[in-house]
Amino acid sequence: MTEEGKFVIKDSGKREEYTSGMVRDVSGDKTDYTLILDGPMFERWAIHLTKGAKKYAKRNWMKAAGDVEYERFKESALRHFIQWFRGERDEDHAAAVFFNMNGVEYLEGTTKGTTKPKT
């Protein structure tokens, strides 16, 4: 945002023209978030979060705020990774690894100011 509260439009200086005549900035160097949808993990992670929300509350994990929670996320991520690696299928250990790694990264971001905590 600019000082006046107006958004700017970033410009790479490169253009892509479509057969319809529409012209857009190129997307080549931009993050393609659609790629995370490939494969089964995006849906499995969402299912895991949904089950957790029913058990604890939506975004309960985002209340984590300190070293104790940070270490718990890391401990759980490692445990679930080992269980996944061993082929245990009693629960979705792969999705649990994603969940716990995300918790670690979230806490690292909140302590560094790069992630905005939920209130």
**What confidence tens digit (pLDDT) does each residue in 18-67 have?**
999 999 998 888 888 999 999 999 999 999 999 999 999 999 999 999 99
Contact 82, 39 (CB under 8 A): no
Tell me the per-residue pLDDT of 55-85, one tens digit each, with 9 for 90 and over: 999 999 999 999 999 999 999 999 999 999 9
pTM of full prediction above 0.85: no
> Domain residues of the chain, as ranges?
64-119
Residue 11 has pLDDT above 80, yes or no: yes
Residue 3 has pLDDT above 80, yes or no: no
Residue length, the chain? 119
Give the three-state DSSP class for 25: strand
Radius of gyration of the chain, Cα coordinates, nearest whole angstrom: 20
Q: Percent of the chain, pLDDT > 70?
A: 89
Q: How high is the pLDDT of residue 9?
A: 86
C-alpha to C-alpha distance for 115 and 16, rounded to whole angstroms: 33
